Structures are given as C-alpha cells and as structure tokens.
Amino acid sequence: MPEREQLIEIGVAVGIVFAMLGVMIAIGMTYGGDDGILDPDAADLLVGAIVGFILLSTGVGIGLAYALNEPGEGLDEETTTNG
C-alpha cells in the first residue's frame, strides 16, 4: 500500500493532467472548425495551455515538496562525504 504522501502526489498529478485535458478539449471544441482544423487563435491558446501546464506542474511539485517533507529530512553528513 502506498504511503499517504505518495497518494497525495498521485492524486494531485492525476488532477492536473485531467485539468490540462479538459482545457485542451475546451479549446478544441470552441475553436475547432467543421473540418476539424483549429484556427490560428486556437494554436496560440494551446501553446499557452501547455506553457501554463508546465508552470503549474512545476509550482505544484515544489509546493508539495515543501508541504510533504519534514524539515529535518535533508542530507546527512555521512551521505555527503566521500569516505
């Protein structure tokens, strides 16, 4: 059974991916023509959505790293020495 922290990370990651898919589907349905070709405005929106997804994923990952890790879980002196 995965630990609590792993379940939180998995849930957040799946939620972000579903949100990204929802945004992409909404852009496609809104700006898609009858022939299935997207307008140039839609291409700009898709690029923005992808960039937003990357920034959101990075921010959430950093936030989860700070929220889920205890302050004393850094590298020990024993693991940083070469001896």
The domains of the chain are located at: 4-59
For the four alpha carbons of 62, 68, 74 and 75, in that order, the dihedral sign comes to negative
pTM of the model: 0.73
**Does residue 79 surpass a pLDDT of 70?**
no
How far apart are the C-alpha atoms of 83 and 79, rounded to whole Å? 9
Least confident interval from 23-27, 62-66, 74-78:
74-78
Mean pLDDT over 3-25 rounds to: 92
pLDDT band at 37 (very low <50, low <70, confident <90, very high): confident
Strand partners, 32: 38
For 42, the token pair is 């839609």
